[in-house]
Amino acid sequence: MFIFKISTLTNIIAFIIGCIYFKYFSKEIKIVFYFVTFGVATEIFTLFYKHFWMQNTGPIGHFYFPVSFFIMGMFFLMTLKDFIKPVYILSLIISFEVLSLINVLFIQDLYEFPSLTGSLGAMILFLFSVAFFTKVMTEAKILKLSEEPLIWINSAALIYYTGNFIFYALLNYANTYSREFAVLTVKFFSYVNLLFYLLIAIGFWKVKKEKQYK
C-alpha cells in the first residue's frame, strides 16, 4: 500500500537528516538518532526476512520492542533526570526488559505478535512524554517552544506511543474480527508512524537551526 511506502520513506528521511546534523546533536538527541537508526535497520531486515524466510514477523517484534524501549527509556532517563529520580525510571526500564523475556518464554509465543509488551511499553513511554511536558511547563525555561528540538521530538513520542497503545491493544482482536478491520488497524499505525518520523526529522533539523542562532 502507498501509505506503507510513504511511512517507511519518512523513517529514511529522518535518518538522513540525522546523519547530516549528527555532530550538532546533544547526548539526548543522539539517543533518538540511535532509535531512528535501529528503526531503519529493522525495516531493512524485515524486508529480507519476509522475502527469504517467512511472513510471520512475530520473532522480530519480540526483539524490536525490548531494544527500542530501552533506547527511548534512556532518552527519557536523561531528559527527566532533574524532574524524576533516575532510579525510578531505570527500575521501570529493567522491569520492562524482564517482563519482555517472561512474555516470550511463558505468555506469548515467539511467533505470536507481542501485543502485551508492545501496549505496556507504549503506555510507559507515553507517561514519560507527558512527564516531560509537565517538566517544561513547570520550569518555564523555554522561551519559544516551536524552536526547541526536544519539544518536536517529545511531541512525536507523545503521538506515537498513544497511537501504538491503541494499535497493539486492538491488533490481536482485529485479526480475529475481520481482515478489513485488521487492514484498517495497520493503516492507522502507518499514519502514526509517518507522523512520528516526520516530527523527529523536524526536531533534528531544528538542532541545526538552533545552533545557527547561537
* CA–CA gap between residue 67 and residue 72 (Å, rounded): 9
The one-character DSSP state at 104 is: I
CATH number of the domain bearing residue 119:
1.20.1070
On the question of pLDDT at 205 being above 60, the answer is: yes
Specify the higher pLDDT residue, 55 or 148: 148
Number of domains in the chain: 1
Band (174; pLDDT cuts 50, 70, 90): low
Mean pLDDT of 93-100: 98
User: Residue 143 has what pLDDT?
Assistant: 87
Residue 29 contacts residue 204 (beta carbons within 8 Å)? yes
Residue 206 contacts residue 24 (beta carbons within 8 Å)? no
* CA–CA gap between residue 4 and residue 192 (Å, rounded): 11
| Percent of the chain with pLDDT strictly greater than 70 | 93
Closest to 108 in 3D by CA, of 172, 178, 185: 172
Closest to 73 in 3D by CA, of 137, 133, 132, 17: 132
Residue-averaged pLDDT of the chain? 91
On the question of pLDDT at 214 being above 60, the answer is: no
Mean pLDDT of 66-79: 98
The Cβ-side half-sphere exposure at 40, using a 13 Å CA radius, reads 17
For residue 153, the enclosing domain spans 2-212
On the question of pLDDT at 172 being above 70, the answer is: no
